Structure 1
Amino acid sequence: MNKKIRKYFVVSFLSILLLMSTFSFPAQTKANFDTNAYNSILLDAETGKILYQKNIDVLLPIASMSKMMSEYLVLEAINTGKIRWDQTVPISTEVAAVSHNTSLSNVHLRIDEQYTVKELYESVAIYSANGATMALAELISGSYGQFVKLMNDKAAELGMGLEGQDFRFINSTGLPNKYVPESMRYGGTSEIDENTMTARATATLAYQLIKNYPEVLDTASIPRKVFKEGTSDQIRMDNWNWMLPELVYGFQYTDGLKTGFTNAAGYCFTGTAIKDGQRVITVVMKTESPQQRFDETKRLMDYGFNNFSKQQLIPSGFQLEGFETLPVSKGKEREVAISTAEPLSVMMRNGEEDLYSLELLLDESLFDEEGKLIAPIEKGQVVGTMVVNYNGDINHEFIVSEAQFTEMVEVVLNETVEKAGWFSLTMRAIGGFFSGIWSSVANGVKGIFS
């Protein structure tokens, strides 16, 4: 959607109830829903509309949920041709040492063995392998410090907020920094530092990751796989996302995304699920156990699926009553029909369809001082937008500002109007002149007999 719509002026605001016969919602009482997570968020994955929020701007450690950013940068490098899936990844002595730490989630890496980008990426997405995450970071950026800088730069680019206020990456894994070899530590950080993000920033990262690289879910949804099968280093990688349908807290609609745990972060989880074509994204942070993070995630997902649905408010070709046409200046026709170019659907709470109204915004640059379109004008030309306004008591935000454009649709001209010739314009002017005289005379006569 063209951002110039912000410059459009309000022509009308209709406080009409859009309770159409196509809607068949049962009457519902608003649930006093809450989660037991310290902070949490639920959003519609298609539009980025926030459906529930709790303490979402509190900065907290995020543990291995950090790896979503590492995955984003790997997929970006693949898609731009910077690296290839079959490319081999060198393993430094420092990375190998981290990968041999059995107290961490790892696959065993050797400096004299060959590993492809695909193998290491799968170990990150499925098993949260820390050494593998570090090896990919060095491959992409040449040095570990440069990759961490890239993480912070990309976070700002993706609309995750301000570094230090909404997010801060100090390593590629989310581990406490004491596990990162001192020679590799990001400048100005100490061993007690950890990656931090707000729930809002975390959800923004997940939203951008799924939107820009939906293939991330092809790997994130794998319940288990064997790394280096048939070798002495083989290890069965069970996905830490135990909400995948085949695993212990299986939820049939879940297909991602990333868990995390450190003592400071507690048990956290960024989840996503799709049901009947509706995808949601959830984040829960600082829960007390693996079960609680999955229980609270399921409650959020159920709340989203059971209480919200996407409904079409207006069809393509919709004409707002009272504004079916616009006047035209110096055209062969004196008015032209307008309508919406596409249908407009909105993610809404069930039972609240009567709280939505329409606002027509027109591009003032296309009109003269009398408020008429200036001919010639072409069929299909965009003259404004139809905006949906919510008049309820919920503060509906969007995870990124650009997403607000999902709740508006372009209004276009239904036909071409050519500019009138000089003769027609002259006759109109003459007609207008005598019409003015007749009105003056009529008013004068009326005054005599009044």
Structure 2
Amino acid sequence: MKERKISFLFYFCLVFSLVISTTFTNSRVAAESDILGVEAEAAILVDAKSGMILYEKNSEISLPTASMTKMMTEYLVLEALAEGKITQEQETGISDFVYQISHNRNLSNVPLRADGKYTVKELYEAMAIYSANGATIALAELVAGSETNFVKMMNEKAEELGLETYKFVNSTGLNNGDLLGQHPQGTKPDDENLMSAKSTAQLAFHLINDYPEVLETASIPKKVFREGTDDRIEMSNWNWMLPSLVYGYEGVDGLKTGTTDLAGFCFTGTAQRDGNRLIAVVMKSIGYEERFDDTAKLFNYGFSNYETQELFPSGYQIENQPSLPVSKGKEKTVEIESKEALSLFIKRGEKEEYLPKFKFDKETLTAPVEKGQKVGTLSVSYKGEELNFLPSEGNGGTSTDLITTTNVEKSNWFVLMMQAIGGFFADIWTSAADGIKALF
């Protein structure tokens, strides 16, 4: 009986300690996640050059994106422009559906005339600055022939860009219930676009790196639609963090807000200071102002605690392995070095925590070898933990080629023959010696 009591007491203490340990661990994780006091349900902060994640909170859960959806529409429109499928000054009429949507003043819109002709530039500016939903659908119809076809393009592009969590059901980010029963085919009447904060950041990453001109329009605080006509409308950018607006933040020049009943208040912002650019996404904030407060917290954290530092200079040689062996060459080895300097946006005071990591294409080179020939890659590892990057962007700007520093000519046929003969007899001698050793 005594032994049973001791055994029971032991197991009780063990279980109690596990519960306490788990509780404290969860508390610690929660504390780390909320260290910045971000109140939005999900958020992420990313270095716009490398795709390295500096902070995240619930970044992989799927949430409604509202008008942040328009970043994908912008991407596809800018892609069509780049490929010459449409032009800035190209004019297009509008469909009855676009006309009806554009006159719903409960939504963000510039009213469009049923018999009007509008340039791609006009419609694009209305979409990017004022989040005009009718103008957005008009562009989708121009690029793809119908919004149904455009939605297919959106989902295909999301897969191509490597987004992991997404669902596009329309071009605007509205709930399908707002589309007057004319929602894209294959989608449900009450569907809403969905992405995770991480996938939203990845879309923004591609948008500003593939088409940096997007910021030229996104950074316009105010613009008049159809200046000099009876349809004149003043458009104020919904991104109140632009420097001249009410929540102005130094360096902000994009990107896209979003608001619906299901999505709450969302924002994908980007800012640049001292040559460093950050992307921040906040999703499901409780208020219009709160999303900008959360974004400012993220930007403050990034710009205050991180800086770009050169970790390894151009011509860096790996300690203990500055060369690679060469077969069939006049020289038995060739020196190698990094082709370019390797810099990264890292926490201040942590430079010594970053270590070189190298990978060779081949362990042994075969002559002839040319000077400047790529033989591998130099990248970075972090002492404390693995570096965390956006999916498929991995290590952007955080690796450089390892190259040879000199030429190595191939040996002539006689030298190669003698080397082969020497190698043959060396192998025989080694085999014989091993056989003799085995006898003893």
Give TM-score, length-normalised by structure 2. 0.86
1:248 paired residue number: 246
- Per mean C-alpha deviation after superposition, the further-off stretch among 188-197 and 341-350 is 188-197
Secondary structure class of the residue paired with 2:170? coil
1:35-83 CA-to-partner distances (Å, cap 9, x unmatched) read 1111000000011111111101111111111111111111111111111
1:433 CA drift (Å): 9.8
| Structure 1 counterpart of 2:148, one-letter code | G
* Alignment-mate amino acid for residue 390 of structure 1: Y
TM-aligned CA distance change 1:321 to 1:102, over 3 Å: same
Shift of 1:396: 2.9
CA distance in 2, matches of 1:196, 1:438: 70
Residue of structure 2 in register with 1:125 after alignment: 128
Q: How far, CA to CA, are the matches of 1:381 and 1:39 in structure 2?
A: 45
1:347 to partner: Cα distance: 2.2
Alignment of 1:15-94 (within 5 A): 32-94=35-97
Partner residue in 1 for 2:184: 186
Deviation at 1:405, TM superposition (A): 5.0
Matched position secondary structure for 2:116? coil
SS at match of 2:90: coil
Matches of 1:437 and 1:125, distance apart in 2: 76
Q: Where do 5+ consecutive residues of structure 1 fail to align? A: 1-29, 365-370, 440-450
Q: Specify which of 382, 398, 404 is matched with residue 407 of structure 1.
A: 398
Do structure 1's residue 137 and structure 2's residue 140 form an aligned pair?
yes
Alignment check: 8 A CA contact 2:334 2:404 kept: yes
Q: Which residue of 2 aligns with 1:153?
A: 156
Q: Which one of 203, 225, 228 corresponds to residue 226 of structure 2?
A: 228
Give the one of 406, 412, 416 matched to 1:421. 412
Question: Where in structure 2 are the equivalents of 1:311-322 lying within 5 Å?
Answer: 311-322=309-320
Instruction: Find the partner of 1:392 among 355, 369, 384.
Output: 384
> Is residue 177–residue 185 contact of structure 1 (8 Å, CA) maintained in 2?
yes
> Aligned partners of 1:228 and 1:120: how far apart in 2?
10
Q: Is the 8 A contact 1:314 1:343 kept in 2?
A: yes
1:189 to partner: Cα distance: 2.9
- Could you tell me the TM-score, scaled by structure 1's length? 0.84
Using the TM superposition, give the Cα deviation of residue 419 of structure 1 relative to its aligned residue in structure 2, in angstroms.
Answer: 1.2
Task: Name the structure 1 match of 2:172.
Answer: 173
Contact 2:381 2:387 in 1 (8 A): no
Does structure 1 residue 101 correspond to structure 2 residue 128?
no
CA-based RMSD of the aligned residues comes to 2.4
Out of 396-405 and 99-108, give the one that drifted further.
396-405
Q: Work out which of the residue numbers 116, 120, 123 in structure 1 matches 2:119.
A: 116
Query: Between the two proteins, what is the percent identity of the paired residues?
Result: 54
- In structure 2, what is the equivalent of residue 353 of structure 1? 351
Residue 344 of structure 1 is matched in structure 2 by 342
Deviations 1:203-246 (A, max 9, x none): 11101100111000000000001111222221100000000011
Cα distance in structure 1, aligned partners of 2:423 and 2:132: 81
Alpha carbons 1:356, 1:391 under 8 Å: kept? yes
Judged with a 3 Å threshold, the aligned counterparts in structure 2 of structure 1 residues 260 and 331 are, in CA distance, closer, same or farther, namely same
Aligned length, in residue pairs: 399
Cα distance change of structure 1 residues 405 and 137 upon mapping to structure 2, 3 Å threshold: closer
Deviation of residue 434 (structure 1)? 11
Alignment of 1:200-279 (within 5 A): 200-279=198-277
Q: 1:101 to 1:332 in 2, by over 3 A?
A: same
Q: CA deviation at 1:429?
A: 7.1
Please say if residues 361 and 385 of structure 1, whose CA atoms lie closer than 8 Å, have aligned partners that are also in contact: yes
CA distance in 2 between counterparts of 1:425 and 1:62 reads 66
User: CA, structure 1 residues 241+428, in 2 after alignment: closer, same or farther (shift >3 Å)?
Assistant: same
Amino acid of the structure 2 residue aligned with 1:214: P
Q: CA deviation at 1:408?
A: 2.1
Instruction: Give 2:150's aligned amino acid.
Output: F
Structure 1 residues 371-423: Cα deviation after superposition (integer angstroms, max 9, x where no partner): 64322211111111222111214x53211324325322211111111111244
CA deviation map 1:8-28 (0-9, x unaligned): xxxxxxxxxxxxxxxxxxxxx
Indicate how the Cα distance of structure 1 residues 139 and 422 shifts in structure 2: closer, same or farther if over 3 A, else same.
Answer: closer
Please give the alpha-carbon distance, in whole angstroms, between the structure 2 residues aligned to 1:436 and 1:90. 81
Q: Residue 53 of structure 1: SS of its match in structure 2? A: strand
Task: Label 1:409 to 1:31 Cα distance change in 2 as closer, same or farther (>3 A).
Answer: farther
Report the Cα distance in structure 2 between the residues aligned to 1:117 and 1:323, rounded to whole angstroms: 57
How much has 1:137 moved relative to structure 2? 0.8
Whole-angstrom distance in 2 between the partners of 1:74 and 1:199: 23
* Runs of 5+ consecutive residues of structure 2 not aligned to the other structure: 1-32, 431-440
Deviation per CA, 1:152-174, whole angstroms, max 9, x where unpaired? Answer: 1111111112xxxx111111111
Provide closer, same or farther for how the CA distance between residues 437 and 148 of structure 1 changes in structure 2, counting only shifts above 3 A.
closer
Q: Is the 8 A contact 2:51 2:396 kept in 1?
A: no
Q: Distance in 2 between matches of 1:392 and 1:255?
A: 34
Letter in 2 for 1:382: K
1:374 maps to 366
| Structure 2 letter corresponding to 1:409 | T
Q: Which runs of 4+ in 1 moved over 4 A?
A: 425-439
Query: How far apart in 2 are the matches of 1:66 and 1:230?
Result: 31
Amino acid in the other structure paired with 1:345: S
SS, match of residue 207 in structure 2? helix
Quick check: 1:51–1:396 contact (8 Å CA) kept in 2?
Answer: no
Task: List per-residue Cα deviations over 1:117-146 (Å, max 9, x = no partner).
Answer: 100100000000011001111111111211
For 1:17, the equivalent position in structure 2 comes to: none
Q: Contact 2:40–2:282 (CA<8 Å) still a contact in 1?
A: yes
Structure 2 Cα separation of the partners of residues 309 and 37 of structure 1:
26
Q: Distance in 2 between matches of 1:437 and 1:258?
A: 73
